[in-house]
Structure 1
């Protein structure tokens, strides 16, 4: 009986390590795949304004058909990135920034901004930006900025898109 204690403990420790490793790595793997897919559609550090979502057109699992999406897969390797979310009058909208592990690094909605645009600069801790700019310090160099606009009716998608296209994501010079 005593000869099974050592292997049993080793087996339990190996199972625990495998479980924990999977749990810790899953968000990074999921976000890396999403980041690659999104960047393949529109490139890095630029906002892409997606068409209305359908089961056939979805890039990410389970998008809402009642939301208009604009997305920016950002890469801070070469410097900070400016994100500008233009307001869409009469609609709920939000800007959410996710880091490379799917954690929310920033979120603000039309209710927070009181109808004004939201403008932030994403950068790592060692990247500096000029004074007076709202910097969001990112824990990693990769991530996704997601602008969502709630449609009151799917027929207004074109009108909403005219406002969404005024939103952007682009690199800025370090300074």
Structure 2
């Protein structure tokens, strides 16, 4: 009898703990304040938006004074998206996330082909078609296969001193997030 009572109490406590964890993890998607929704609020898809250093009523902002950030959301349902940027003023990184904010791919200036951003994000079927007739324009492009057609990219660059600020902002302003037109 005592064992059954202890077993029931432990099962109830473990079940309640799991339920609370599940609710906490699912809460952002129910409130509309998940990362994907916040990136969407920055503006229309297929464009990088540089985030301000201070949150002045903005939904997103740079939290680190030495890092400048731009975000872009996209939908590869009808065609792939190409992410391009020149060589940064120093360190840069690009991360691609799905609509559930799971990181799908990341790259930085040290792991890129030539120090610049050149990434094509596409569905499995789209990548299969592209690989059959690989255009010369994609010969040095890194391809990313997406299981979820909705996603977003976060491009970051360092500006550790005031002298880097302008070049970091130009790097982000010149970044491209656009549908791949040769598809």
Q: How high is the TM-score relative to the length of structure 2?
A: 0.73
Cα gap change, 1:106 to 1:23, in 2 (>3 Å)? same
C-alpha contact (below 8 Å) 1:69/1:146 kept by paired residues: yes
Cα gap change, 1:115 to 1:8, in 2 (>3 Å)? same
RMSD: 3.3
Cα gap change, 1:32 to 1:80, in 2 (>3 Å)? farther
Partner of 1:48: 49
Query: How many angstroms does 1:87 deviate by?
Result: 1.4
Query: How many angstroms does 1:111 deviate by?
Result: 1.6
Query: How many angstroms does 1:42 deviate by?
Result: 2.1
C-alpha contact (below 8 Å) 1:28/1:102 kept by paired residues: no
User: For 2:42, what is the secondary structure of its paired residue?
Assistant: helix
Unaligned 5+ runs, structure 1: none
Cα gap change, 1:139 to 1:28, in 2 (>3 Å)? farther
User: For 1:146, what is the secondary structure of its paired residue?
Assistant: strand
Q: Separation in 1 of the partners of 2:113 and 2:119?
A: 16
User: For 2:88, what is the secondary structure of its paired residue?
Assistant: coil
Unaligned 5+ runs, structure 2: none
Mapped pair 1:75 → 2:79:
no
Partner of 1:118: 117
Query: How many angstroms does 1:140 deviate by?
Result: 1.3
Q: Separation in 1 of the partners of 2:181 and 2:32?
A: 26
Q: 64-73 vs 42-51, which deviates more?
A: 42-51
Q: How high is the TM-score relative to the length of structure 1?
A: 0.76
Partner of 1:141: 149
> How do 1:94-109 residues align onto structure 2 when only pairs under 5 Å count?
94-109=93-108
C-alpha contact (below 8 Å) 1:95/1:109 kept by paired residues: yes
